[in-house]
Amino acid sequence: MAKEAPPDAFGNSAREYELGRPQWPEELIDRVVADLDLGADSTVLDLGAGTGKLTRSLVPRFARVIAVEPDDEMRAVLDEVVPGAEALAGPAEAIPLPNDSVDAVFTAEAFHWYASEESVGEIVRVLRPRGGLAIFWNVDFGDPEPPMGDEVERVLDDAFAKGGAPGIGKVLSGFWREPIAKAPFEPLRQAEVERMVTRTRDQWLANMLSVSSIASLPDADREEVAQRLGELVPDVEYRWSIRTIAYWTRLG
């Protein structure tokens, strides 16, 4: 079986994560928010919030936004860049909130790291009656334009072979549906958007270095990947298509 990159890799790369990862598409968030009947007076939780890439889109929408993130380095960046959220330390398996305390739980690029009966039980516990669960993933990245060349592909393939498969394989396997199906949620709904983002060379490099399997490499290996990519990737602006899927449901 393919080796899996560990979820605790992210702290190694919190700054790169913040620089490189794209924000979440506002129109998809709007769609989910409307369907879950959330409003300006709602309290929501961003679970596995990282540096707050999704949190920053939630803060202007809701009265209270709580961001739970177990990794100290990721949470330190979140505190700095999303001061409007209340950042708390903790894992999805023991959410540091009382019962019935939030109208919705959001999770972006994170649910596959903790999808279990234990964490879904925690989500159900903190949700108010009819509360919502919204899950976002970027599922498909096109080839950057202009192309970066075969050697860049080779460096990345070698890094993934050493560091383990990126988390996307877990997302696509669909294993995460099972604990949701066992909980008292309505059937999942879904929608997707495809968008084009522009990335500077530094943003693209930072994004790659923040991918869990590369972020989890020993420092020397990671620095070698950074140096090789730095030599190979021309300093131009790249266009990158990203397909993002949202799944959402409510307590029945």
Ligand X SMILES: C[S@@+](CC[C@H](N)C(=O)[O-])C[C@H]1O[C@@H](n2cnc3c(N)ncnc32)[C@H](O)[C@@H]1O
Site residues (vs ligand X, CB under 6 A): 7, 10, 21, 47-50, 53-54, 69-71, 74, 91-93, 108-110, 113-114
Q: In this complex, which beta carbon is closest to ligand X, that of residue 120 or of residue 152?
A: 120
Give the nearest distance from C-beta 113 to ligand X in angstroms.
4
Q: In this complex, which beta carbon is closest to ligand X, that of residue 26 or of residue 151?
A: 26
Q: In this complex, which beta carbon is closest to ligand X, that of residue 82 or of residue 152?
A: 82
Rounded CA separation 199/21 (Å): 10
Give the nearest distance from C-beta 19 to ligand X in angstroms.
12
Give the nearest distance from C-beta 93 to ligand X in angstroms.
6
Scan for tokens 């020397």, then name that residue. Answer: 220
User: 3-class DSSP state for residue 172?
Assistant: helix
| CB 44, CB 66: distance < 8 Å | yes
Q: Torsions phi, psi of 150, nearest 5?
A: -65, -35
Give the nearest distance from C-beta 166 to ligand X in angstroms.
10
Q: In this complex, which beta carbon is closest to ligand X, that of residue 27 or of residue 186?
A: 27
DSSP E strands: which ranges in 142-211? 189-199
Rounded CA separation 221/159 (Å): 8
Work out the number of other CB atoms within 10 angstroms of the CB of residue 197.
14
Query: Among candidates 25, 225, 200, which has minimal Cα distance to 109?
Result: 25
Measured from each CB, the residue nearest to ligand X is: 50
Give the nearest distance from C-beta 137 to ligand X in angstroms.
9
Give the nearest distance from C-beta 49 to ligand X in angstroms.
5
Q: In this complex, which beta carbon is closest to ligand X, that of residue 29 or of residue 225?
A: 29
Q: In this complex, which beta carbon is closest to ligand X, that of residue 91 or of residue 132?
A: 91
Query: Among candidates 147, 75, 123, which has minimal Cα distance to 250?
Result: 123
Q: In this complex, which beta carbon is closest to ligand X, that of residue 36 or of residue 47?
A: 47
Rounded CA separation 47/139 (Å): 19
Give the nearest distance from C-beta 231 to ligand X in angstroms.
27
User: 3-class DSSP state for residue 222?
Assistant: helix
Q: Are strands 238-250 and 127-141 parallel, antiparallel or unpaired?
A: antiparallel
Query: Among candidates 247, 148, 245, 236, which has minimal Cα distance to 195?
Result: 245
